[in-house]
Structure 1
Amino acid sequence: MSPRVFLAAFILLLGASNAWAQLTSEQKLAKDRGIVLFNQLKAVSATPFLTVAAEAGDPEAQYFLAESLRAKNHYMNSEARHWYEAAAAQNDLYAMIQLGRSKNDICDLKNDCPANEKKAAEWLNQARDLAKPKADLGDAEAMFIMYELTLDDSWLEKSASAGHAIAQYWLAVGYKQGDGVFLPWKRSEAVAKWFKASAEGGYPKSMMEYAAILYEKGDLDGFRHWNEQAALAGYASTVYGYGSDLAHEPDTYGFPLDIIKGYALVYSLKELDGGGGLQARVESKLPKIAAKMTPEQIVEAQLFAQKWKLTHPPLSFFPDRLSH
């Protein structure tokens, strides 16, 4: 795996934080574990770990704790709002956007929100006031935030052009769904261009989209390459498919047979313990692969899985930073 792709995947997983210096080593470990669990779609399990760092004042942990609480309850309750507001007070723009988008806060439903509580529009205006100057100076992430705030496609295009991998992904998705004006044969070129740029920037969802485009063109080498890169980045859905392909269960895309590695990758997904809904598929697939292996090979594969975990990014479904 290239250092660039590994670094991009790690940044997408953990995000940038200016508050790490304020945390003890134990608090940092709790925060990191919490974000890993959150990205594995295990919001309930993530909550106690994120709480440790959130209570220590880390704004990123506060944001992901709020996201976890909102996911667990399916609405913006007072506890989630508290942690969004704590992160927003430290200029977390994503927290401001979530506060600004909230339409089902429990106090709104009961019509008893505190009189001094900021209105949704105020949070969005504050986020815009902070993001716009950075965007005007060419900050790619700030441009993407301006797109989220305004839904003005020109900001998305600017962010993509400035190299923001997630903006590139969403620009490609939009073009694929019919946004923009193109000559018929140019649309597919634009879609491929931006998925490729995003894939090269380390975004696993784009790796799989670009792989599918290459497969449709008959480029099986390219398809296999991007599948492998997505698996190396820890994209859980692809780890399952890549492992199955290596074990030739089934042999669909011409991957070289490596039954030890294939079993190991599928086996590694047991760690998710139901997160992301892969468990039933894993429990069904492993016996099929194991039926073609000796007991010694299965032990070797399980050791391989342990080594893989230590040398690769944590498993993740790479959920959107701004959930809906």
Structure 2
Amino acid sequence: MRAWIFNALPLKNPTLFLSLCLLYSADSLAALTSAQQVAKERGIMLYNQYKPAEIELRVAAEAGDSEAQFYLGEELRHKHRHMTAEARNFLEASANQGNLYAMIRLGNSGSGLCNILGNCPRGFKSQEDWLREAWRTSKILAEKGDPEGLYIFYRVTGDFDSLIKSAEAGFAFAQYWLAQRYRNGDSFFWLPWQRNQQIEHWFKAAAENGNPQAMVEYAVIVYENGGDMAVARHWIEESAKTGFQIGVAHLATEHAHLRTYFGFPPDLVKGYGLMSLLLVLDVGGGTLDSTKHNLTEMIKMMPPEQIEQGKAFALEWQAANPRPVSFFPMMLDPLDSF
């Protein structure tokens, strides 16, 4: 299953993107029509909400868009729970345009049936070929000090120093992941408080750089340490503004006073409006059940006019914070084994 962990979109770093443009032919970078761009954006939104996104992503992927090709390859791979020939084709098309995330996925997903049968066509790249290509390209970027390039080099090689350098260079997801690695016991610290200090430092840095998951993590640390609750409330609200499901849920339940950790003032209208936004995540399971349960509890405390006000607040919130509510899955989940 896809994890809920957030990661930046591939090639969001302008320096990385421009570097890859120099490494790969310019005519491979597809220019989408407005309709194709709309389909691509909707497809990515649906993918991040764990909803079927194949139809929308296929529009842009078949037009040659590298990012859509990557997402479609992943969508097909998750749909069938293994690397199908079509999923591989789209991932290869993306990788051939320089998408390093696609290269890593191909490098970690076996070499395909033709490699096993020994009848691969001329020019076919094996699992090892893609990993070497990802290593070569990311090494060039890492040597230039590119923050995302350093992170990708870490993903290819496992070089922990590259993860640290990426975090120090300001790549938000590397900062988040470094904090998680320290929390999981990686690296050595003479004193326990030094480890905790580094965990807090890197979650805060990632939060300040826009990572919504780190925003929640840092708010929880502030709460657990008995820190300034105004700071904790700020980061919970900032996370919710990104559309991150956990941030929205925290803010909603806090305002409704179904759970109170961070000291938000009671406001059932805001709580109901925010919680109702999560109904779009109707993929079943714990998230939908929890959302419906919380809304039911709020309705018990609200007259009809307040419920209508809550619905109006939800529309106002969406207008002010247009990023769609989603789970923000990371591009390459270390826990994803197929």
1:99·1:123 contact (CA, 8 Å) conserved in 2? yes
Q: Which runs of no fewer than 5 residues in structure 1 stay unpaired?
A: 1-9
Is it true that 1:82 corresponds to 2:92 in the alignment?
no
Does the 8 Å CA contact 1:266/1:282 hold for their aligned counterparts?
yes
Partner of 1:187: 195
Deviation of 1:99 after TM superposition, in Å, equals 0.5
Which residue of the other structure, out of 240, 250, 263, is the alignment partner of 2:249? 240
- Separation in 2, partners of 1:308, 1:277: 24
Partner of 2:299: 290
Matched, 1:197 2:214: no
**Greater fraction helix:** 1
Does residue 314 (structure 1) correspond to residue 310 (structure 2)? The answer is no
Where do residues 65-144 of structure 1 align in structure 2 (5 Å cutoff)?
65-103=72-110, 105=112, 107=113, 111=117, 114-116=120-122, 117-144=124-151
Cα pair distance change 1:191/1:113, threshold 3 Å: farther
RMSD of aligned alpha carbons: 2.3
**1:253 positional shift:** 3.2
Matched, 1:64 2:71: yes
Q: Which stretches in structure 2 are left out of the alignment for 5+ residues?
A: 1-5, 22-27
1:54–1:249: structure 2 CA closer, same or farther, 3 Å change rule? same
Kept after mapping to 2: 8 A contact 1:236/1:317: yes
Counterpart Cα distance in 2 of 1:156 and 1:176: 15
CA distance in 1, matches of 2:225, 2:64: 50
Post-superposition offset of 1:311: 2.5
Matched-pair contact (CA < 8 Å) for 1:75–1:104: no
Partner residue in 2 for 1:12 = 8
Residues in 1 aligned to 2:306 and 2:271: alpha-carbon distance in whole angstroms: 11
Structure 1 contact 84–95 (Cα < 8 Å) conserved:
yes
Is 1:176 aligned with 2:172? no
The aligned runs of 1:267-278 (5 Å cut-off) are 267-274=276-283, 277-278=286-287
Identity of aligned residues (%): 43
| Partner residue in 2 for 1:4 | none
Residues 11-56 of structure 1 deviation map (CA, whole Å, 9 limit, x = unaligned) = 93686388987111111111001111111122xx211111010011
The one-letter amino acid of 2:244's match is Y
Q: CA deviation at 1:276?
A: 7.2
Change in 2 beyond 3 A, CA 1:21/1:92: closer
SS at match of 1:22: coil
Q: Distance in 1 between matches of 2:115 and 2:282?
A: 35
Question: Does the CA-based 8 Å contact 1:235-1:318 persist in structure 2?
Answer: yes
- 1:207 is aligned with what amino acid? M
Alpha-carbon shift at residue 250 of structure 1 (Å): 3.1
Distance 1:273 1:104, change over 3 A: farther
1:228, distance to aligned residue in structure 2 (A): 1.2
**8 Å contact from structure 2 (residues 30, 63) kept in 1:** no
| Alpha-carbon distance, 1:308 to partner | 1.8
Distance in structure 1 (CA, Å) of the matches to 2:155 and 2:7 = 20
| Higher RCO by CA contacts (8 Å cutoff, separation 6 or greater) | 2
What SS class does the counterpart of residue 54 from structure 2 fall into?
Answer: helix
- 1:113 Cα offset (Å): 6.0
Aligned twin of 1:3: none
CA distance in 1, matches of 2:254, 2:283: 22
Q: Distance in 1 between matches of 2:10 and 2:269?
A: 30
| TM-score after normalising by structure 1 | 0.90
The equivalent position to 1:153 in structure 2, one of 153, 160, 183, is 160
Q: Provide the secondary structure at the position in 2 that maps to 1:97.
A: helix
Aligned-partner Cα distance in 1 for 2:285–2:100: 27
Give the aligned partner of residue 25 of structure 2.
none
Q: 1:126 to 1:20 in 2, by over 3 A?
A: closer
Offset at residue 112 of structure 1 (A): 6.3
Could you tell me how far 1:310 is from its partner in structure 2? 2.7
Q: How many residues align?
A: 312
Contact 1:143 / 1:156 at 8 angstroms: preserved in 2? yes
Letter in 1 for 2:120: P
Go from structure 1 to structure 2 and tell me whether the alpha carbon gap of 1:288 and 1:15 turns closer, same or farther (over 3 Å shift).
farther
The one-letter code of the counterpart of 1:287 is T
| Residues 44-70 of structure 1: CA deviation (Å, up to 9, x unaligned) | x21111101001110000001111111
Q: 1:87 to 1:13 in 2, by over 3 A?
A: closer
Give distance in 1, aligned partners of 2:79 and 2:234.
Answer: 36
Q: 1:119 to 1:250 in 2, by over 3 A?
A: same
Change beyond 3 A, Cα 1:120–1:194: same
